Amino acid sequence: MDDKEKILGKGFKALRPKSEYSDDVIAPPYDVLNSKEARDLAKNNPYSFLHISKPEIDLPEDIDADDPRVYEKGLENLQEMINDHILIRDDKETLFIYKITTKDHDQTGIAFVASIDAYEGNLIKKHEHTTPVKELDRINNIKALNAQTGPVLLTYIDNIQLDK
């Protein structure tokens, strides 16, 4: 593995909500809600990210979640939010530092584009076993949107240098 392949990731030009729409766009991750819960949560909010990450909520209730029309609807919803300037693209590649605080836990992280080479070279360890059906759903979603709509969390062993 050469030095280029040892890079774990890099910054990216994020697509994110204009500040005045942030509260409307924010939504739980796609995999913590079923379709009915997502539909109920987003029904009075046309800017909810659930219209992109779980687009079946905008189609008849009897549609299979893996029907190709679901992914087409997700792309349509994404394009609409971009065209309406609800979501805007950053001008430069950036690493994003975030902190999540709950009453009994703090978590700090960095959002970046992870390297497939680093993953395949075992520099990034698998930490979750997913089912082929769920993997295929996310693959289809990513291909249809040409975007990754949900973060993949990577962890690291405590490192004093990183904590600084």
Is residue 151 within 8 A of residue 143, CB to CB? The reply is no
pLDDT number for residue 56? 96
Q: According to the model, what pLDDT value does residue 157 have? A: 65
| Token couple for 112 | 């970046």
Rounded to an integer, the average pLDDT of 75-103 is: 95
The string over 112-129, giving b where at least 16 C-beta atoms fall within 10 Å of a residue's C-beta and e elsewhere, is bebbebbbeeeebeeeee
The rounded radius of gyration (Å) of the Cα atoms in the chain is 17
pLDDT of residue 154: 72
pLDDT recorded at residue 22: 97
* Mean pLDDT of all residues in 59-71: 93
> Which pLDDT belongs to residue 1?
46
Residue range 127-132: mean pLDDT, rounded: 76
pLDDT computed for residue 12 by the predictor: 93
CA distance 74 to 56: 8
Task: Note the pLDDT tens digit of each residue in 91-117.
Answer: 999 999 888 899 998 888 888 888 888
Contact 115, 155 (CB under 8 A): no
**Domain range list for the chain:** 3-163
Model confidence pLDDT, tens digit, residues 132-160: 888 888 889 889 999 888 877 776 666 67
Compare 85 and 108 and report the one with higher pLDDT: 85
Q: Which DSSP string do the residues of 87-149 spell out, in sequence order?
A: EEE-SS-B-EEEEEEETTEEEEEEE-EEPHHHHHTTSS-------HHHHHHHHHHHHHHTS--
- Interval 5-63: pLDDT, tens: 467 889 999 999 999 999 999 999 888 999 999 999 999 999 999 999 999 999 999 99
